[in-house]
Amino acid sequence: MTQMTPPASGAPAGSAGSARIAAAVRQAVADGILGEEQPVVGFVDTDGVRESVAALRDAFPVMPGTLHCFAAKAASLIPVLRLLADCGMGCEVASPGELRLALDAGFAPADIVLDSPAKTREEIGLALTLGVAVNADSFDELRRIDGLRTPGSASVLGIRVNPQVGSGSIGEMSTATATSKFGVALRDEGAREAVVRAFAARPWLTRLHAHVGSQGCSLELIARGVAETYELAEEINGSLRRQQVTSIDIGGGLPVNFTDDTVRPSYAAYVAALREAVPGLFDGRYALVTEFGRSLLAKNGFIGALVEYTKDAGGRRIALTHAGAHTATRTVFMPDAWPLRVGAFDAQGRPGTGPLMVQDIAGPCCFAGDVLAHGRELPELREGDFVVLYDTGAYYFSTPWAYNSLPRPAVYGFSHGTDGERVRFAPVRDAQSLDSIAAESGLAHADALTGPGATAI
Ligand SMILES: *Cc1c(COP(=O)(O)O)cnc(C)c1O
């Protein structure tokens, strides 16, 4: 199912990313941010985020109307979104909750794009009132927009197409397969003509959108999907004899290397692949929208977790940590598709140096499969040590799962400052309190099934 090579074991050696993380772990343990009181914490490297945004901007040519959006689902934390807004990014959202976060983070409505395959009338109405861009996922949704749109709405409106160029290495992450639930399936009989007719009937429809997949898709596959979308834009404008399609939203999906510190493929490599596959994309006739998530944040975040106990079972050493399926859901349930590098650190937060030993790194959840890494060779972990899960800045601690009523872990941003001497931390999200867990578990309705009112049911 996946061609991903297994990650190198042990704490990765030497490179800039690892050195920064090692300094942050050391300081977080010294400051008491990571330890017995907070046994699992997510961290965001704010300098790294700024550098990644700069790399994205540098790779793409400067063209009028270009809008680089961050896909909110990759790191749905208001301070992180505000950092990205501060870097000049827009925001791609896919639910009422994400739209709310984007607005609270300070994105201007004109810099927000609403995608999702199941928008309600209310969501569409709000987006149109605010002037948020909307990409319709289907002709039915386009008909809803027809009914809700008022003339003069500031929203840029588009339609998502599925170029059906095929699957990457992780089927669950591939959105351009023949039977994907996303967009208008372009190669289905009559679909292309129907898209052209939809534009002909709606002069306000000006954008085409495609997002080929997230992780596991090669640059060539993504570029082919963009090429198909571009060809369709040319076909629409050609047959209508006017430039009605004025922008192309090419989605996100640049894969992330989870096996070591190097950033590959780079945004520059992606742009080179696009230039090769779709030369006309950069000639200035179309404004470009991008929606990257994982590639901007994954390598700029990590999870630190305390080793609560160790034990031996059936000849295997197991480290029981506080990072489990609630913070690394995909890795626990699909370990072959989503392997993570794990680093071993001592009780002072220094990289482990002891002899290597084969160990399982397990989490606190009460089901047997809650193991983050199986049979990994790492310096021997002991009670009070720490593990680091690398490359978890996107879709991990920001996307927790409430299993076992485990709290959402605290998240901190960190920076090395201009002097590069001392790592400084800023709280991004507090750890969830027990009161909050009780409230989210129906405390306000505690008597609903047993009290006097319960006779009603
Ligand atoms: C998830 C998603 C993205 C971001 O994907 P990444 O792989 O994180 O870059 C962009 N656009 C849409 C429509 C998405 O669903």
- pLDDT tens digits, 75-120: 999 999 999 999 999 999 999 999 999 999 999 999 999 999 999 9
pLDDT band at 7 (very low <50, low <70, confident <90, very high): very low
* Residue 92 CA to ligand 1 centre (angstroms): 8
Tell which one of 68, 84, 291 to mutate to probe ligand 1, the residue whose CB is within 8 A of the most ligand atoms. Answer: 291
Q: Map out the domains of the chain with their CATH numbers.
A: 16-45+299-440 (2.40.37.10), 47-295 (3.20.20.10)
With contact defined as beta carbons under 8 Å apart, do 430 and 338 qualify?
no
Mean pLDDT (the chain) is 94
- From the list 393, 326, 391, the residue with the least C-alpha distance to 363 is 326
> pLDDT at residue 14 above 50?
no
Kindly give the distance from the C-alpha atom of residue 316 to the centroid of ligand 1, in angstroms, as a whole number: 38
Helix (H, G, I), strand (E, B) or coil at 341: coil
Q: Of the residues 92, 112, 169, which should be mutated to test ligand 1's pocket, given the most ligand atoms within 8 Å of the CB? A: 92
Cα(31) to ligand 1 centroid in Å equals: 35
The pLDDT score that the predictor gives to residue 15 is: 55
DSSP per residue over 148-188, as a string?
Answer: HPPTT----EEEEEE------S-GGGB--STT-SSSEETTS
**Ligand 1: which atom is nearest the Cα of residue 69?**
10
- Mind listing the pLDDT tens digit for each residue in 382-411? 999 999 999 999 999 999 999 999 999 999
Q: From 211, 270, 330, give the residue whose CB has the most ligand 1 atoms within 8 Å, as the site to mutate.
A: 211
407: closest CA among 28, 8, 38, 34? 38
Q: What number is the average pLDDT over the span 434-457?
A: 88
The CA dihedral of 34, 35, 38, 39, to the nearest 10 degrees, is 100
Give me the helices (H) in 8-77, please: 16-30, 46-59
CA of 160 to the centre of ligand 1 (A): 13
- Assess whether pLDDT exceeds 50 at residue 9: no
Q: Among 188-192, 332-336, 417-421, where is mean pLDDT lowest?
A: 417-421
239-262 pLDDT, tens per residue? 999 999 999 999 999 999 999 999
Structure tokens at 388: 């680091």
> According to the 3-state scheme, what is the secondary structure of 218-262?
CHHHHHHHHHHHHHHHHHHHHHHCCCCCCEEECCCCCCCCCCCCC
Is 366 marked active-site? yes
Q: What is the pTM of this model?
A: 0.94
In whole angstroms, give the CA distance from residue 429 to residue 38.
13
**What is the position in ligand 1's atom list of the atom closest to the CA of 209?**
13
Pocket lined around ligand 1, Cβ cut-off 6 Å: 71, 73-74, 92, 94, 115, 211, 214-215, 251-254, 291-295
pLDDT the model gives residue 339: 96
The residues, any chain, with a CB within 8 Å of residue 333's CB and separated by 6 or more, are 325, 369
